[in-house]
Amino acid sequence: EDPVKLNYQSDVARLRKIVINSLYSHKEIFLRELISNANDALEKLRITALTEKSVWDGTDPLNITIKAVKNEDGTNGRLVITDSGIGMSPQELSANLGTLAKSGTSDFLSMAEGQDGVATGNLIGAFGLGFYSSFLVADRVQVASIPPKSARNPDPVQHVFRSSADESSYEIFEDPRGNTLGRGTEVTLYLKPDSLEYLETDAISGLVNKHSSFSSSFPIYLFERWTEEVADEEGSNTPEVPGSSKAVDAPSTPDDDDEAIIEVASKNDEGKESLLPKVKNVTKEEWSRLNAQPPLWTRDHKNISDEEYHLFYQAFFKDFSNPLAWHHFSGDSGSGVAFKAIIFLPSRLDGKFWQTLPDQKPKDIKLMVKRVFITSDLGDDSLPKWASWVKVVVDAEDLPLNVSRETLQSNRFLKQMKQMIIKRMIQLFTKISEEDPEKFEKVQEVYGSVLKLGAVEDSKNQAKLASLTRFSTNQRNKTSLDQYVENKKQGQKQIFYLAEIGKTPEVLSQSVFIEKLHARGYEVLLLTDPIDEILVSNLRQWKGIPFQDVAKAGLQFGDEGLDPEEEKEQQKDLDEKFKPLLDWLKAKAKDIVRNVVLSNRLVKSPCAIVANIDGYTANVQKILSASNSKGGREGLMGELANAKTLEINPRSPLIVGLLRRVEDLPTQEDEKDLEAEEEVHEIASILIDGALVRSGFEVPDSHRFFSRVDRVLRRSLGVSETAPTDESVKPAPPVDPSVPDTPVTGTDDGGIPDSVWDKMSLQIEEMEEDAVSHDEL
């Protein structure tokens, strides 16, 4: 059969180029990647064998071997990595090694192409270059592979995939050596002259220990050959069978010339009698086990260093940053299944966490039975969204080893495992919060919103999760609900909060709604994360104390009853004094608010608009209008949107001034002063619109608002209110009949690129923010 020459898919060509040109300083990762592939192939074989016995009957050992072969002339050499795993058919060789099927590859490529070598090094971890990292150290790679006999493939034939670093094509052909592997894959790297250090066994075992001691649950053997002087005792001249002494289930060596076990025995001083004891040089060979340590999770946590946990985490979960925290424990599931487990909190969340659907299955719960990987699929017993990112290895002792994924689904163990993982995760978070404030800060950075989501999602663990959440307040950052409650004032019967998504706590703390609360020393939770308000309305109360949205009407401090009689009298007087203004405003503002009252929340600002208990706050109204193009002004939505109260501050000179003007207005029909009435009306309208803006609402008609402001400005400048502006303009030149000959490359938005739109809307948002926080009437 002639070799078939095939062209690489274009992404592969790009990837190989990056590998070869820019990752030179990371070349040692090739071994980690190849071992990881071999481990995956062995795992696939074992899992396939659970349902298809003919694939592997469980007798021959599953392992990975590494052998370095130096050329006889001492130049160059090759490194051979072999596994007895699932293997590949010729079609699979082409599909798996000639194309890149991985999602996200193109993203990786464009990122890597835009970066220098150093930064790309970090990307390798996140992405995993896999097989192509071979070209970091080899200028020629040959992969021989044969799948096991199966019903679908009763007569598999060993094939070879061959490729050079400088070619854009690869070849696939039947292996002229025949079936040398029996089953599995053999990757032969013809090392580049600058990578010959990987022919040394010390270098190889060093690398395996550094990167891969935890990557494989299957034994990794390294072929070693050395020369020893041994006494040449009489009658012991027959060569012994080497290599079998130490490695008990050492791999059988493929019957390839280079790889056959050779023993060269040469007699010292042959032919001469000597007084010295007879010695001979014996070349000994042995497959030595590299990852002989028992799996990390089976060991006692007291004897495991942080460094070892880090390395294990990286190799096992293929996340090449260190975990933020972990919890290593053993237990009994309750149904009698003993297990050992480690739970890891990654140091970052997947960037897509908040975009993916809640029913995304976690992939990183690795269930083992007696150290053998069984599944990552927990089926219906999957973790809730908030916990779906956790990385866990669980090794059960007492489940039958041949347990299939299907029978596992019906096993109680899985259900218990889910509960156990959640419980331990919460314990881990709680422990960090109590013992390691610095780490807990990092936890808040990465998982702050996730813990809030958990408290909403997981009603069973709501209290525990909610006590791990932290909030900014007008007085401090990172306050827990318990700390808030400890800090509440005498008589305070509510937990005050103010929510506005997208604002910073600093801006929110300037809000009119909390002016007096803040001035009097009450603490107010400032909620800026979209999940915050959902959580608060879900909890309803903490330690029996209800949450109170301070953007709503009816704010009570709780100490009103303690006011001296005298103050109550004063309040009564104020009510009476301002009654004319309240009545007048009620009539004027009836389209905007349902009620007008004297405020007990304002200190400096003249007025504010608050939502009624059953009405929408500005925050909710914004969320609703974002999802409803009508802006929530119709039907019931409109009703609720209008359920607002105007609060005025009787201590503000502006309000006192307005009261005076309203009282001065003639009341008799025949004395009416239309001009004066119009002027007061205008001032009041500006005041109400201003109150809307400073309370976070939109002004119903901004054009009218500004025309009013203009008129008031004219009046205060002493300019005629009615004098027209010179509106004459120079008309545009006549139509230009010539047509441009280069096509215009515009965008759908009529020529304004998206990036500009984004900037524009950003600026508009900034302007709005300014308006709320600084606008003083």
Ligand X SMILES: Nc1ncnc2c1ncn2[C@@H]1O[C@H](COP(=O)(O)OP(=O)(O)OP(=O)(O)O)[C@@H](O)[C@H]1O
Q: Any contact of residue 523 with ligand X (CB under 6 A)?
A: no
Compose the 612-651 pattern: x for residues touching ligand X by CB under 6 A, - for all others: ----------------------------------------
Query: Can you read off the two tokens belonging to residue 406?
Result: 């299907």
Q: Which is nearer to ligand X, 104 or 746 (CB)?
A: 104
Q: Which is nearer to ligand X, 86 or 325 (CB)?
A: 86
Q: Which is nearer to ligand X, 38 or 50 (CB)?
A: 38
Eight-class DSSP state of 552: B
- Please report which residue ranges of 23-80 form alpha helices under DSSP H: 29-51
Least distance in angstroms from the C-beta of 110 to ligand X: 17
What gap in Å lies between CA 132 and CA 37, rounded to an integer?
A: 11
Q: Any contact of residue 38 with ligand X (CB under 6 A)?
A: yes
**Part of the chain binding ligand X (CB under 6 A), chosen from 123-131, 151-159, 462-470, 661-669:** 123-131
Task: Let me know the angle formed at the C-alpha of 421 by 419 and 423, rounded to the nearest 5 degrees.
Answer: 65
**Part of the chain binding ligand X (CB under 6 A), chosen from 46-54, 82-90, 192-200, 598-606:** 82-90
Q: Which of 30, 56, 108, 131 binds ligand X (CB under 6 A)?
A: 131
Strand, coil or helix: what is 619?
helix
Choose among 120, 110, 134: nearest CA to 22.
Answer: 120
Least distance in angstroms from the C-beta of 163 to ligand X: 13
What gap in Å lies between CA 540 and CA 262, rounded to an integer?
A: 78
Q: Any contact of residue 542 with ligand X (CB under 6 A)?
A: no
Least distance in angstroms from the C-beta of 36 to ligand X: 6
- The reply to whether 767 sits in an annotated binding site is no
Q: Any contact of residue 319 with ligand X (CB under 6 A)?
A: no
Q: Which is nearer to ligand X, 120 or 509 (CB)?
A: 120
With beta carbons less than 8 A apart as the criterion, state whether 645 and 594 touch. Answer: yes
Q: Any contact of residue 148 with ligand X (CB under 6 A)?
A: no
Neighbouring CB atoms inside 10 A of 111's CB total 15
Q: Which of 18, 88, 582, 684 binds ligand X (CB under 6 A)?
A: 88
Least distance in angstroms from the C-beta of 175 to ligand X: 15
- The reply to whether 102 sits in an annotated binding site is yes
What gap in Å lies between CA 529 and CA 533, rounded to an integer?
A: 8
Least distance in angstroms from the C-beta of 357 to ligand X: 24
**Intra-chain end-to-end CA distance of the chain, in Å:** 90
Query: Can you read off the two tokens belonging to residue 142?
Result: 């040959």
**Part of the chain binding ligand X (CB under 6 A), chosen from 34-42, 239-247, 597-605, 712-720:** 34-42
Q: Which is nearer to ligand X, 37 or 528 (CB)?
A: 37
With beta carbons less than 8 A apart as the criterion, state whether 557 and 520 touch. Answer: yes
Least distance in angstroms from the C-beta of 62 to ligand X: 12
- Please report which residue ranges of 474-520 form alpha helices under DSSP H: 481-486, 505-508, 515-520
Number of residues binding to ligand X, judged by CB under 6 A: 15
What gap in Å lies between CA 223 and CA 243, rounded to an integer?
A: 10
Q: Any contact of residue 128 with ligand X (CB under 6 A)?
A: yes
**Strand pairing of 595-598 and 338-345?**
unpaired
Interface positions, 284-313, toward ligand X (CB under 6 A): none
- The reply to whether 96 sits in an annotated binding site is yes
- The reply to whether 722 sits in an annotated binding site is no
Q: Any contact of residue 597 with ligand X (CB under 6 A)?
A: no
**Part of the chain binding ligand X (CB under 6 A), chosen from 35-43, 189-197, 530-538, 732-740:** 35-43
Q: Which of 48, 142, 185, 599 binds ligand X (CB under 6 A)?
A: 185
Least distance in angstroms from the C-beta of 320 to ligand X: 11
Q: Which is nearer to ligand X, 131 or 190 (CB)?
A: 131
Least distance in angstroms from the C-beta of 13 to ligand X: 14
Q: Which of 63, 65, 96, 479 binds ligand X (CB under 6 A)?
A: 96
Least distance in angstroms from the C-beta of 143 to ligand X: 8
Question: By 3-state DSSP, what share of the chain in percent is helix, strand and coil, each rounded to 5?
Answer: 40, 20, 40
Angle between helical axes of 653-664 and 565-588 (0-180°, round to 10):
60
Q: Any contact of residue 37 with ligand X (CB under 6 A)?
A: yes
Task: Let me know the angle formed at the C-alpha of 53 by 50 and 56, rounded to the nearest 5 degrees.
Answer: 90
Choose among 433, 452, 369: nearest CA to 407.
Answer: 369
**Part of the chain binding ligand X (CB under 6 A), chosen from 79-87, 455-463, 472-480, 649-657:** 79-87
Residues 6+ apart with CB under 8 A from 705: 685, 686, 689, 699
Q: Which residue number places its CB atom closest to ligand X?
A: 130
With beta carbons less than 8 A apart as the criterion, state whether 42 and 136 touch. Answer: no
Least distance in angstroms from the C-beta of 558 to ligand X: 59
What gap in Å lies between CA 288 and CA 293, rounded to an integer?
A: 13
Q: Which of 12, 55, 85, 588 binds ligand X (CB under 6 A)?
A: 85
Q: Which of 14, 30, 31, 33 binds ligand X (CB under 6 A)?
A: 33
Neighbouring CB atoms inside 10 A of 405's CB total 16
Neighbouring CB atoms inside 10 A of 350's CB total 12
Least distance in angstroms from the C-beta of 46 to ligand X: 13
Least distance in angstroms from the C-beta of 85 to ligand X: 5
Q: Any contact of residue 64 with ligand X (CB under 6 A)?
A: no
Q: Which is nearer to ligand X, 97 or 141 (CB)?
A: 97
Q: Which is nearer to ligand X, 185 or 472 (CB)?
A: 185
Residues 6+ apart with CB under 8 A from 704: none
Q: Which is nearer to ligand X, 44 or 439 (CB)?
A: 44
Q: Which of 18, 124, 130, 339 binds ligand X (CB under 6 A)?
A: 130
Least distance in angstroms from the C-beta of 196 to ligand X: 23
Q: Which helix (H) or strand (E) is 159 found in, with range?
A: strand 159-164
Least distance in angstroms from the C-beta of 84 to ligand X: 10
CA dihedral angle for residue 674, residue 586, residue 549, residue 517, rounded to 10 degrees: 70
Q: Any contact of residue 144 with ligand X (CB under 6 A)?
A: no
Dihedral sign for Cα 575, 579, 584, 590, please: positive
**Part of the chain binding ligand X (CB under 6 A), chosen from 80-88, 478-486, 522-530, 614-622:** 80-88
Separate counts of helices (H) and strands (E) for the chain: 22, 23
Neighbouring CB atoms inside 10 A of 590's CB total 12
Q: Any contact of residue 86 with ligand X (CB under 6 A)?
A: yes
Q: Which is nearer to ligand X, 96 or 472 (CB)?
A: 96
Choose among 163, 116, 124, 101: nearest CA to 21.
Answer: 116
Q: List beta partners, residue 81.
A: 66, 187
What gap in Å lies between CA 587 and CA 311, rounded to an integer?
A: 73
Q: Can you give the C-alpha Rg of the chain in angstroms?
A: 38
**Part of the chain binding ligand X (CB under 6 A), chosen from 126-134, 154-162, 230-238, 423-431:** 126-134
Least distance in angstroms from the C-beta of 285 to ligand X: 24
Chain-centre distance for alpha carbon 107: 17
- The reply to whether 576 sits in an annotated binding site is no
What gap in Å lies between CA 648 and CA 669, rounded to an integer?
A: 28
Q: Any contact of residue 137 with ligand X (CB under 6 A)?
A: no
Query: Which amino acid is residue 359, in one-letter code?
Result: D
**Part of the chain binding ligand X (CB under 6 A), chosen from 71-79, 125-133, 260-268, 754-762:** 125-133
What is the DSSP annotation of 295-309? PGGGS-GGG--HHHH
Eight-class DSSP state of 215: T
- The reply to whether 104 sits in an annotated binding site is yes
**Residue positions forming the annotated binding site:** 33, 37, 83, 88, 96, 102-104, 185, 405
User: Which residues of the chain form contacts with ligand X (CB under 6 A)?
Assistant: 33, 37-38, 41, 83, 85-88, 96-97, 128, 130-131, 185
**Residue positions forming the annotated binding site for ATP:** 33, 37, 83, 88, 96, 102-104, 185, 405
